[in-house]
A and B are shown apart, each in its own frame.
Chain A
C-alpha cells in the first residue's frame, strides 16, 4: 500500500514498540498475571464451595459482581459514544484517541458480562438461557442487547483498524505469524477508491448504529432497577441517569488510558495537552449533568418522604453506615473534576488525569450505593435474622475476582497494543487538519496574552 513519509515514520515508531518489551513492562505483566491468577483461585474456590464464600445472602442477593458489571458496561461507552460521535462529526483531533476508546469498549464489554456469570448460582445451567430463554422477558432483552452491542463494537473496531492492518501486513516484521494474521485481517486492502468508499460506508453505518445501541443497552440495564418496586431503584430518571453516568465514567477511563499509554509508549507528540483539555471539558460537562441528575434523584426521594425511600436515605446519610461513601461518590467525585477543569490554573495533563481517576472511583462507589443499601432495606420486615444476612460486606473472594477483572482489562489492553498501534497510524494523514487546529488555538492564546500584556502596560501608565 502506498504511504506518505509521515505515515511511514509513525508506522516505524509503533512497529518497533509492538515487537519489543521493556523490563518494567515485564514486571507489570507479571503483576497483572498474579492478580489474574488470584482471581482464578477465587473462582475455583467459589465453584467448589458455592456462593457461601461471597458476602451475598438471601436478603442481599446482589453484591460487587453486579457493581462491576454495571461499571464495565458503563466504561464501554468511551468507544461507543465518544468515538462514534467524533467520527460522525468528523472532529479533526479525534485520530489519536479513537483507537484507545474503541479498545476500551470491546474489552469492557467482554469483561463486564462475565461478572453476571460469577453472580449466577448454577453456571452449569447457563445453556438454559439459550435453550429456554423467553423473548417475552425483558431480562432476555438485556442479554440480546449486550450481545448485539459487543458484536457491533468488535465490527466497529475492526473496520476502523483495516487501514492500519493493511500497513502492518506490508511492514517487514520478522515473525511469520504476524504476516499471516495481518494478511488475513487486512482483507487485501490497498487503498483503492472503491475500497475506501466501502470502508467509509461501513464506518458511517457502524458509527450511527453504535450510538443508539449503547444508549439502549444502558437503558435496559437501568430499567432492571427502575422497574423494580424497591426504594432507591423505582425511578423514572434511572435510564438517562445511567447513560450520563456511563459516558462520564467512560470518558474518565479514556483519559486515564491516554495518560498511561502516553507515558508508557512516549506518545507526547501524538497525544497532546489539547486532547486532555478537550476530553477534560467533555468530562466537566458530563460531571455537571451527572451531578444535576444525582441532586434531582435524591431531592425527589427526600422531599416525598415516603417511608421506605427514607429508610434508604437514612442509611446513605448515616455517618456510621454509608455517609462517607456517599459524600465521596455524590459530592467529591462530581465537584472536584468540575472545579479542577474549570479553573485554567489547575488544568494540566496530570490534574485532569487525577480528577478522572477520582471520578471513575466515585462512579464505582455510586453503583455500590445504588445496589447494596436498597437490598439491605427489605420491604417485608425481617425477623430473627443474622447480621450478615442484613448487612452485606464483600469477601476476599469477591475482591480477588474484582481486582482480577481490572487486571485482565489492563492485560488485554496491553496485548492489543502489542498487536496493533494504539493510535491510528493511517489516519495520521489527517494531521494536516489537526495542525491547522493547533495553530488556530495557539494564535488565540497568543492574542489573549498580548491583550493581557497591553492591559498591564495601560494600568502601569
Chain B
C-alpha cells in the first residue's frame, strides 16, 4: 500500500476512535426528560404534573429526583418550591394564590421545572405557560327532555370572565375504575355547549350519576376537568347475590346451636375426666 494512503487511513482510524472515545465520554452522563402538564379540577384544585424519565438502556421512571419549580416573570425567575418524584417518576406542584406567582396582564402564568443534574445525570428543564379557565357543569330540563350544559370562561388577571368559543368538550360518566365517555362537542360563541342527557344511562341505587366534563391537552389552557352530580340515572338495585364468608357473622342458627351442643358435649367430658382425677386421688386415700 502506498505510504500516503497508509498514513491517510491511519489518520482516519485515529480520528474515528478518538471521536467515539469522546462520544463515549459524553455518553457517560445519563440523559433525563421532564414533561410538565397543567391540571385544573373543579375550578378549585390547580396543579402541575411533572413526569421525569431517565435513560438507562431505555427511558424509565426517574424516582427520587428533586425538581425546582420557578415562576417565570418579566425580568427574573422566582423559586417557588422543590418537589421530589415518586416511584412512577411523577411529582405534583399545587398552584396556590401565592403572590410570588407572576401573572401577566392577560392572566397568563409561566412556570419552569428544572432538574439540576449531577456528576452522572444530565440536567433538564421544561416550561409551561397557561391561562386559567373556569368550567361549570349544570343541568336543566325543558318539557320532558333533560339537558347538560357546560360553560367555559377564561379568567383574566382581575378574575374577569370571558367566554371561550370553539373549545372541544368531552363528556363522560364517572365509573369505579375509569370514566365512560359518551359525547363530545365544541363550545359556541358564548362559551357554552348543551348536550341532551341520555335517559338510559344507569346510575347507582338511587339513580345518582357524576357527569365529568373535560378539556384535554389544550396548548393554552392545559387539562381542565369539572364534575356535576344529578339523580337522573336509571336506578340500578343492588345485585341480590349473597354469599357468606367465614369472617361474617351471619352463620345459620342451626349451625350455631350444633356447634354449641358439640363443644358443650366435649367440655362435659373434659369436666368428667377432671372429676376422675379427684376420684383417682380419693381411691388412694381410701386404702
The interface of chain A, by Cβ under 8 A from chain B, is 134-139, 141-142, 144-145, 148, 151-152, 155, 159, 162, 187-190, 192, 194-195, 198-199, 201-202, 205-206, 209, 213, 216, 223-224, 227-229, 381, 383-384, 386
Contacts and interface: CB of A to CB of B under 8 A. Distances in A.
Given A209-B266, A224-B246, A198 B272 contact: no
Contacts of B277: 187, 202
B249 A189 contact: no
B270 interface: yes
B284 A190 contact: yes
Interface in B227-248: 243-248
Nearest to A384: B88
B256 interface: yes
Contact of A148 (B249, B267, B283, B285): B267
B1 interface: no
B256 A136 contact: yes
Contacts of B273: 155, 159, 202, 205-206
Contacts of A148: 263, 266-267
B276 A198 contact: yes
Contacts of A194: 283, 286
A66 to B, nearest CB: 14
B280 A189 contact: yes
A229 B249 CA distance: 17
A201 B276 contact: yes
B260 interface: yes
B259 A141 contact: yes
Contacts, number: 86
A152 B246 contact: no
Interface residues of B, number: 34
A390 B245 CA distance: 23
17 contacts: A136-B250, A136-B251, A138-B247, A155-B273, A188-B280, A188-B281, A188-B284, A189-B280, A192-B283, A192-B287, A194-B283, A198-B279, A198-B283, A202-B276, A209-B266, A216-B262, A227-B244
Contacts of B284: 187-190, 192, 195
Contacts of B17: none
Contact of B270 (A152, A187, A383): A152
A213 B281 contact: no
A155 B267 CA distance: 12
Given A155-B273, A223-B246, A135 B256 contact: yes
A393 B81 CA distance: 38
B177 A383 contact: yes
Contacts of B263: 144-145, 148
A205 B241 CA distance: 45
A197 B45 CA distance: 83
Given A155-B273, A187-B277, 6 more contacts: A187-B280, A188-B281, A188-B285, A201-B276, A206-B273, A227-B246
B9 interface: no
Nearest to B248: A137
B269 interface: yes
A205 to B, nearest CB: 5
Looking at B87, B88, B248, which has the most chain A CB atoms within 10 Å of its CB? Answer: B248
Given A155-B270, A195-B284, A198-B283, A137 B276 contact: no
A403 B269 CA distance: 37
Looking at A148, A195, A199, A201, which has the most chain B CB atoms within 10 Å of its CB? Answer: A195
Contacts of B256: 135-136
A135 B245 contact: no
A16 B69 CA distance: 80
B254 to A, nearest CB: 12
A386 B87 contact: yes
A195 B280 contact: yes
B246 A228 contact: yes
A379 B55 CA distance: 35
Looking at B87, B256, B276, which has the most chain A CB atoms within 10 Å of its CB? Answer: B276
B274 interface: yes
Interface string B92-134: 0000000000000000000000000000000000000000000
B280 A198 contact: yes
Nearest to B278: A187
A134 B249 contact: yes
A124 B185 CA distance: 58
Contacts of B266: 148, 152, 209, 213
A126 to B, nearest CB: 17
A383 B251 CA distance: 34
A352 to B, nearest CB: 35
Looking at B88, B246, B259, which has the most chain A CB atoms within 10 Å of its CB? Answer: B246
B270 A228 contact: no
Interface string B166-204: 000000000001000000000000000000000000000
A136 B249 contact: yes
B260 A135 contact: yes
A202 B88 CA distance: 66
A202 to B, nearest CB: 5
B230 to A, nearest CB: 27
A138 B177 CA distance: 33
Contacts of B260: 135
Nearest to B257: A135
Nearest to B244: A227
Contacts of A151: 270
A83 B25 CA distance: 75
A406 B284 CA distance: 41
Contacts of A144: 259, 263
A112 to B, nearest CB: 18
Contacts of B87: 386
Contact of A199 (B249, B280, B285): B280
A62 to B, nearest CB: 13
Contacts of B272: 205
A154 to B, nearest CB: 10
Contacts of B247: 137-139
B269 to A, nearest CB: 5
Contacts of A134: 249
A227 B281 contact: no
B251 A138 contact: yes
A381 B177 contact: yes
Contacts of A386: 87
A162 B88 CA distance: 66
B65 to A, nearest CB: 18
